[in-house]
Amino acid sequence: MARTMEQIGLINLGLLFLAVLILVGIASSLIATRFGAPLLLVFLIIGMLAGEDGPGGIVFNDYRLTYLIGTVALAVILFDGGLRTRLAVFRGSLLPASLLATVGVVITAALTGAVACLVLGLSWLQGLLLGAVVSSTDAAAVFFLMRAGGLQLRRRVAAALEIESGTNDPFAVFLTIVLVELIMLGAQGSSLDVVILLLRQVVIGTVAGLVGGYLLVQGLNRMALPSGLHPLFAITAALAIYAAAAAVEGSGFLAVYLAGLVLGNRPARAFPSILSFHDAATWLCQILMFLVLGLLVTPSKLLGYLLPAFVIAVFLIVIARPVAVWLCLLPFRFTAREKAFISWVGLRGAVSIFLAAIPTLSGVANAEVYFNVAFVAVFISLLVQGWTLTAVARGLDVALTETAAETQRVEIDLPGQTNLEMVGFPIIEDSPILTRPDLPSWIQPVMVARQEKVLTWADAKALNPGDYAYFLVPTERAQRLDRLFAASDAIHSHHPVAAFNFTGDISLDELAAAYGLSVPDDLRGLTITEAFRLRCEDRIGMGDRIQLGPASLTVHELEDEDVKQASLEIDEVELPVASTSALAEFSLYGRLQRFVAQLAERFNPTKPSAGA
């Protein structure tokens, strides 16, 4: 009895310690965000401090438990990555990103493996395994750092990074498992065994993911689940899809990613709550992975591998990743600056350390080498690349001057409805919605909460600062309203010198010539609508803005997917002489004048002579 109570007490102490570690890590995120430190590096360091060589003194060497936690966490992270990949939006970036996530991983693994053979004396197959372990990038680390730094990247750069970082993990896992199998087979293996293993993993993983994703969507839409259970149903189904595919020797990670992709691109009930839940679940999984991996590493054992691991990490950052990126993006029209930035954003994360645990579990020779080298590579990558990501983006001019709108949008799922949802916004003092005479045609106002009273739209009459407004909107358009309810930033904190309205088919080059403005290189030759499509990832929203030197172009009215009217607001700047007639040349009034003049010329083709 006493022994049982002692064991229960130890379990409770373990739970308490783990909870305290997570709470300390979350609290540390405030400091990390303020100083621009990579947040996941903080959790890794906390795990190390709690470990065998740190003040915590915890001896933890359970690779099987580490693999179990890592498997569950990675499955959730990949499912979330699939949920957030919009095929319609990223269609133009799918091919380059897919090449980076497949061919790029192989090139990175091969180059890194070659260096590993030289500095560590490994065989070619062992070196390639080490290269595969550190070949994938960490999507969560990349996009947290972008948000923390206030970065809004150019559309195709952001799309390529998002798809690549979300899809290269299954391929890296797949490559690692294949190489472990080959090393275990040794001389008994054959090329036919490799081909069969590849086909089985890909085919079973693909079928399980697509079928499982379809069944998940059908289950969400047809079952009347109690409120709040939809996210739990989705995440549990994702783990079941992973396990089912892996149980029949398919790629469970590929399956779970494809299942998320299917769910994210089909109408599904309670999708906003599922997405919101996965935000928290993905972060919890990342935190657990880094804490456990920090506990698992023994810094004193790293010393013997520090120099070769440092050489491999630097080679990976400076040569292997850039070569892979430049070769994969060669057929596509990416600029040198964009390719340089994509090369630099190859952050390594918990996936690499998780993959390094697979050789240990499989009993592969030199298993300790893979884990320690991978740990050093991840640590250096997060420290160097993570800390400099924002500065590099701005230095290479791939970050937009305008930032994404920050709003407190609340999304409410409507039972029995997958195409519409209710969204609510707090009305703040300087939000653009207060100065608009009308609302977009595709939203339906529902009610306004004002001073602890709920008013109908007709009773509210107008929106006031401090109100909470609720609307019915098409699900896929909800985020387009963000800028209407966001705080006006510094450039709009004062009244512009002049403001003119233009239709979406006007060329930006014409505007630039008329008003003496500068057009970013990626927007030259485009109309207003085309420019906003490029910058807004085909999801143009009311109030979205493009900076044109000392002026800004803001979406004022939308018609379907096009800009019906945009407002050019010019700050204090001396316009060229030609721009004094620009309003007459390009404005709606000027265009009407030209139309009338053309009609007059058509019906009265004869003109009086100059001396008449």
pLDDT at 584 over 70: no
- Of the ranges 54-68, 292-306, 327-341, 377-391, the best mean pLDDT one: 327-341
**Position 418 confidence tier, pLDDT thresholds 50, 70, 90:** low
Residue 299 token pair? 């810094």
pLDDT tens-digit series, residues 93-118: 778 888 998 899 999 999 999 999 99
What is the reported pLDDT for 493? 43
Minimum mean pLDDT range among 189-198, 369-378, 397-406, 467-476: 397-406
Minimum mean pLDDT range among 27-31, 84-88, 240-244: 27-31
What is the reported pLDDT for 301? 78
pLDDT at 474 over 50: yes
Top CATH class, 410-485:
alpha beta
**Position 490 confidence tier, pLDDT thresholds 50, 70, 90:** very low
**Position 461 confidence tier, pLDDT thresholds 50, 70, 90:** confident
Rounded mean pLDDT, 69-97? 79
Our CA dihedral for 287, 288, 292, 293, rounded to 10 degrees, sits at: -50
- Of the ranges 53-62, 104-113, 194-203, 490-499, the best mean pLDDT one: 104-113
Residue of 485 and 210 predicted with greater confidence: 210
Residue 35 token pair? 């100083």
Percent of the chain with pLDDT over 70: 75
Nearest C-alpha neighbor of 360 from the set 419, 281, 447, 296: 296
What is the reported pLDDT for 585? 47
Minimum mean pLDDT range among 53-57, 220-224, 358-362, 503-507: 53-57
What is the reported pLDDT for 20? 73
pLDDT at 549 over 80: no
What is the reported pLDDT for 38? 59
434: which DSSP letter? G
CATH of 491-603, one of 3.30.465.10, 3.20.20.70, 3.40.50.10860, 3.20.20.10: 3.30.465.10
**Position 245 confidence tier, pLDDT thresholds 50, 70, 90:** very high
CATH fold of 64-279+297-395 reads Na+/H+ antiporter like fold (1.20.1530)
Please report, for residues 226, 251, 266, 274, 424, the alpha-carbon distance to residue 413 in angstroms, rounded to integers and kept in the order given: 13, 33, 15, 10, 12
What is the reported pLDDT for 580? 43
569: β partners? 499, 552
Give dist(CA 43, CA 178) in Å, integer: 30
What is the reported pLDDT for 39? 64
What is the reported pLDDT for 420? 78
Domain positions in the chain: 64-279+297-395, 410-485, 491-603
pLDDT at 128 over 70: yes
What is the reported pLDDT for 578? 43
Cβ pair 321, 381 in contact under 8 A: no
What is the reported pLDDT for 187? 53
- With H, G, I as helix, E, B as strand and everything else as coil, classify residue 179: helix
First to last CA, the chain: 120
**Position 147 confidence tier, pLDDT thresholds 50, 70, 90:** low
Cβ pair 506, 553 in contact under 8 A: no
Tell me the torsion sign for CA atoms 112, 117, 121, 126. positive
Minimum mean pLDDT range among 91-105, 170-184, 443-457, 587-601: 587-601
Residue type, 95: L
SS3 per residue for 276-320: HHHHHHHHHHHHHHHHHHHHHCCHHHHHHHHHHHHHHHHHHHHHH
Task: Supply the mean pLDDT for the chain.
Answer: 77
What is the reported pLDDT for 145? 60
Please report, for residues 80, 169, 387, the alpha-carbon distance to residue 143 in angstroms, rounded to integers and kept in the order given: 13, 15, 13
Rounded mean pLDDT, 529-539? 69
pLDDT at 55 over 90: no
What is the reported pLDDT for 388? 82
The DSSP line for 325-363 is HHHHTTTTT--HHHHHHHHHT----HHHHHHHHHHHHHT
Rounded mean pLDDT, 447-452? 86
Neighbours of 326 (CB within 10 A): 17
565: β partners? 557
pLDDT tens-digit series, residues 201-213: 889 999 999 999 9
pLDDT at 426 over 80: yes
The DSSP line for 53-105 is TSTT------HHHHHHHHHHHHHHHHHHHHHT--TTTSGGGHHHHHHHHTHHH
Residue type, 562: D
Residue of 468 and 550 predicted with greater confidence: 468
Cβ pair 252, 205 in contact under 8 A: yes
Residue of 586 and 447 predicted with greater confidence: 447
Per-residue burial over 550-588, b if 16 or more Cβ lie within 10 Å, else e, is bbbbbbbbbeeebbbbbbbbbeeeebeeebeebbeebbe
